[in-house]
Amino acid sequence: MSKSVGKVVSAVSPATGAVMGLVGAAKKGTKVSYDSTPANNYMAYLQNYDTSKTDNTLSNLEKYALNQSGNLDNMGDWSFGVNASDEARRQAQEATYNSYMDYLNPQFERQTSDYATMLQNKGIPVGSEAYSRAMSDLQDRQNAAVNQAAYQSVLAGQDAYTQDLQNEIAAGNYGNTAQSAYLAQILAALGESPSAFDIQGDIYAVGTNKALNEYNAKQQTAANRLSLINSLLGAAGSVGGSLLGGGK
């Protein structure tokens, strides 16, 4: 070995050793740590959580809900729209009109008879123009009373229709409210407390999140180490090249 090569080897060996020492230190310094203590504690808590009372209660409530749901077939249909009875309107209108006419017709007969007698007593003979005009006026007043009776009967029919519509709406609302309350009672019987199934779901979620965090920490640690090692090796190559160039 020539003296110049020996000098280069002597110079490079300590430098290489120093670089490798830095690489070893870098491996320790670039580690990313994930503290899994909280997750472990929470998982231990969940695993030791006693759900036996809740599970037994839920089992009883589920049986109750199942039995109660069997009564749903006995309930009425949901009401999404209502119709008033036109028959109720017709009956009210006819009844009102008939009531008026039962009262007016006897009056009309007495009025006509009394009026004819009065005209004759005044010397106005039957068939005269004055007699005909007077009786026509009486007939107009009687017809006005009949028209008023008809008008009042129409109003009575409309009121009956409106009342029937309101009754139908109230009945529909009552039925819907009753069914909603019954369904709410059944659903409430299922409860809100965590069951063993719920706890297992929580354990799975916590464990999955913990594993993901640990994986990410390992990946980041590996990436940090690789980046630092590449940088150090690049620096070592530059040092070696300079030494070899200076030894010529």
> What would the pLDDT profile of 131-165 be if each residue is shown by its tens digit?
999 999 999 999 999 999 999 999 999 998 888 88
127 within a domain of the structure (yes/no): yes
45 within a domain of the structure (yes/no): no
Single out the residue in 167, 188, 209 at which a domain terminates.
188
Same domain, 168 and 213: no
Q: Give the mean pLDDT of 232-247.
A: 61
156 within a domain of the structure (yes/no): yes
146 within a domain of the structure (yes/no): yes
Same domain, 90 and 166: yes
248 within a domain of the structure (yes/no): yes
Same domain, 207 and 149: no
Gap between the Cα atoms of 24 and 34, Å rounded: 21
Tokens of 74: 């006995």
133 within a domain of the structure (yes/no): yes
Domain count along the chain: 2
Gap between the Cα atoms of 55 and 58, Å rounded: 5
Taking the CA atoms of residue 50, residue 52, residue 58 and residue 61 in that order, the dihedral angle to the nearest 10 degrees is -140
Handedness of CA 139, 141, 144, 149 (dihedral sign): negative
Same domain, 87 and 184: yes
Same domain, 156 and 247: no
Handedness of CA 137, 138, 139, 145 (dihedral sign): positive
Same domain, 183 and 93: yes
pLDDT tens-digit map of 38-96 = 777 877 887 887 877 777 777 777 777 777 777 766 666 666 666 777 888 889 999 99
Single out the residue in 169, 188, 207 at which a domain terminates.
188
197 within a domain of the structure (yes/no): yes
Quick one: which of 247, 229, 244, 202 has its CA closest to 20?
A: 229
Report if pTM > 0.75: no
Higher pLDDT, 210 or 247: 210
pLDDT tens-digit map of 165-209 = 888 888 888 888 877 887 777 667 666 656 677 778 877 888 788
Q: What is the pLDDT at residue 148? A: 95
- Percent of all residues in the chain with a pLDDT value above 90, rounded to a whole number: 25
Residue length, the chain?
A: 248
Same domain, 174 and 199: no
Domain that holds residue 169: 83-188
Gap between the Cα atoms of 180 and 188, Å rounded: 12
Instruction: Find the largest Cα–Cα distance for the chain.
Output: 173
97 within a domain of the structure (yes/no): yes
Quick one: which of 181, 214, 233, 164 has its CA closest to 36?
A: 214
- pLDDT classification of 238: cutoffs 50, 70, 90: low
Gap between the Cα atoms of 69 and 91, Å rounded: 42
Single out the residue in 168, 188, 208 at which a domain terminates.
188
